[in-house]
Amino acid sequence: MEADVLPCYVVCDFSSSMTDYIGELGAGLREFRAAAHADPVAAARIRVSVIGMARTPWVLQPLRQVVEIVDVAEQSPCAATFFGPVFDFLHARVEEDVNALNDNGLRPLRPIVFFVSDGRPADAAEWPAAHARLTRPELVAFGVGAADPDTLTRIGTARVFLGGVRLGTALAATVLHPRRVHFRSTRPPDAVPRIHGEAG
């Protein structure tokens, strides 16, 4: 019998504007991993990939068990972030991974992209077209530092975290217990809720 699995892509911004927050990214991923260890039943159906982005995207961790999630503390910041290339990259990567899961006798649920950034891309005019092509996954945006709420609200078609919630808590609520997060991917971007307190 096929088993349901939930593919999740954690996209981490490593631009220079994120220099002071790379430690926070690492701590959030470690907290998420600890939450997975504490809830093995939920964690068993999660597969997580970690994607870095700056001028171009790169894979820090391919899709694997959530308890194996990598530490990003040693990543070095880059000069600028381009969002368009990471959305194009995810478009191809998600399709490839979903097909691979099917080939291995698993039944992938709708993927989640958890996008962690301050929302300050260098390709402000170009990225929306690439974002619009990324229709398969649910997109959740998590603002870090002096985050640009307008940009992140456009990105997070399912949910947006803009303060008051730790990264690890937001990841656990979104990925380990997705039924507790009421996705509204059909809402227009200006209707996506801004989250300022604990997720529930």
- CATH number at 133 reads 3.40.50.410
Render 128-162 in DSSP notation, one character per residue: HHHHHH--SSEEEEEE-SS--HHHHHHH-SSEEE-
Structure confidence at residue 181 (pLDDT): 41
CB atoms within 10 A of CB 73: 12
Instruction: Tell me, yes or no, whether 186 lies in a domain.
Output: yes
Q: Which pLDDT tens digit goes with each residue over 89-145?
A: 999 999 999 999 999 999 999 999 999 999 989 999 999 999 999 999 999 999 998
Instruction: Tell me, yes or no, whether 8 lies in a domain.
Output: yes
Q: Which pLDDT tens digit goes with each residue over 43-79?
A: 899 999 999 999 899 999 999 998 888 887 666 667 7
Which secondary structure element, helix H or strand E, spans residue 32, and what is its range? helix 22-38
Instruction: Tell me, yes or no, whether 123 lies in a domain.
Output: yes
Instruction: Tell me, yes or no, whether 21 lies in a domain.
Output: yes
The model scores a pTM over 0.85: yes
CB atoms within 10 A of CB 146: 9
Instruction: Tell me, yes or no, whether 200 lies in a domain.
Output: no
Local structure of 10: helix, strand or coil? strand
Please count the structural domains in the chain: 1
Instruction: Tell me, yes or no, whether 29 lies in a domain.
Output: yes
Tell me the residue range of the domain where 26 lies: 3-195
φ, ψ of residue 28 to 5 degrees: the values are -65, -40
Mean of pLDDT values over 176-180: 65
